[in-house]
Every structure is written in C-alpha cells, then in structure tokens.
C-alpha cells in the first residue's frame, strides 16, 4: 500500500504521453515544416517550474531532432487544470436499487488536450466506498508554438533559443521515466 501511495505522490517524469502517469507528459503537433506546438502536462504534484522546464527542453529536443539549430516561441499558454473523475454525485439515487445500474461520470482524455465528456459505466450503489466518489485532481499544463531555424541564432531579442545550449543546460535537471 505504501508503494502505491508513493507512486501517486511522484512528479510527472519527462516522458511522452502514453508512457504512463495517467496521460501526463509531453506531446507535439507539426503545424507546417519548421513550425510546431509542444505541450507538457504535469500531475497534481508537478510544480509549474518543472512543467515549464520540461516544455523548454522538449522544444529544444524537437528542434534538434528535425535538423534545426534554434527556435523562437511565437505563442505560449499555461494553465492550472482540474480533472474530475468518478461518478457524478448528482446521478446517484438516494435508495439503492436491488441490482447494479448504469450511471454517467465525467472523464478527461488528456491525449488530445484537456477534453472532457460524459462516459457511461456500471456501478453498484451498495458498494459505496472511496473509489465510487467523485474526485478532483489538479495539474499544471503549458504549451508553446515554436518556429525553428538553421544557422546562427538571430540576435533580435525576444524568445529565441539555441537548441543545443538549452539541451546541454537542462539535461542534468530532467528526470526521465
């Protein structure tokens, strides 16, 4: 039991979404050649600085992986998100029926972003315990739209980064799965 609780209280590692940690980690989308959107989503114990660091690191890795030298952020978004899961409390009857029933619950699918929707699942009100109650968890998510370039980094100011410098500087702080 202690190992299970310890696993729940661990910050999201640097990993692609789908590698574990309930849909937390990074993903990216190519908008056009040399232009991408990257996102990192942390769990409830991942602090915002870690999320921002992992996002910057992902942008740098992505830039190098596609043969570019530098990237410029042209758009950024960050938000504290709340995830609700479990049966919706208002759907539970006050009197238990004699057999299991079907009821709605609110679920999020993190792969396509923070998208919510109703899903149906079976539940038996006679088995009311902590696992059948609605819960909310928070997490910090950040995304950046970047434009990549080759050659020396432009010196025009702004949010322009040398990808190799970013990877070299942040590599020691990145915790992988």
49-71 pLDDT per residue, tens: 999 999 999 999 999 999 999 99
The verdict on residue 105 lying in a domain is no
Q: pLDDT: is 100 or 42 the higher one?
A: 42
The verdict on residue 124 lying in a domain is no
Please check the confidence at residue 72 and state whether its pLDDT lies above 80: yes
Other C-beta atoms closer than 10 Å to the C-beta of 167 total 17
The verdict on residue 104 lying in a domain is no
State residue 106's pLDDT score: 34
pLDDT tier, 87 (very low <50, low <70, confident <90, very high otherwise): low
The verdict on residue 99 lying in a domain is no
Reported pTM: 0.66
The verdict on residue 148 lying in a domain is yes
The verdict on residue 21 lying in a domain is yes
- Where in the sequence is the domain holding 150, given as residue range(s)? 14-82+139-173
The verdict on residue 118 lying in a domain is no
Q: pLDDT: is 32 or 99 the higher one?
A: 32
State residue 86's pLDDT score: 58
CATH number at residue 33: 3.30.1360
Q: How many domains does the chain have?
A: 1
The verdict on residue 56 lying in a domain is yes
Give Dmax (Cα) for the chain.
Answer: 72
């Amino acid at each position: 039991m202690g190992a299970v609780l310890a696993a729940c209280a661990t910050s999201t590692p640097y990993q692609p979404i789908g590698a574990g940690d309930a849909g937390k980690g990074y993903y990216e989308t190519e908008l056009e050649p040399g232009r991408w959107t990257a996102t990192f989503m942390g769990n409830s114990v991942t602090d915002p600085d870690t999320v921002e660091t992992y996002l910057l690191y992902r942008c740098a890795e992505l830039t190098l992986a596609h043969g570019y030298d530098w990237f410029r952020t042209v758009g950024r978004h960050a938000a504290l998100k709340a995830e609700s899961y479990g049966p919706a409390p208002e759907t539970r009857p006050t009197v238990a029926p004699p057999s299991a029933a079907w009821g709605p619950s609110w679920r999020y699918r993190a792969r396509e972003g923070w998208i919510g929707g109703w899903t149906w699942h079976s539940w038996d009100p006679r088995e009311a315990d902590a696992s059948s109650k609605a819960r909310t968890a928070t997490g910090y998510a950040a995304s950046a739209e970047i434009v990549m370039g080759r050659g020396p980094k432009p010196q025009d100011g702004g949010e322009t980064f040398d990808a190799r410098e970013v990877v070299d500087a942040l590599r020691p702080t990145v915790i992988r799965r």
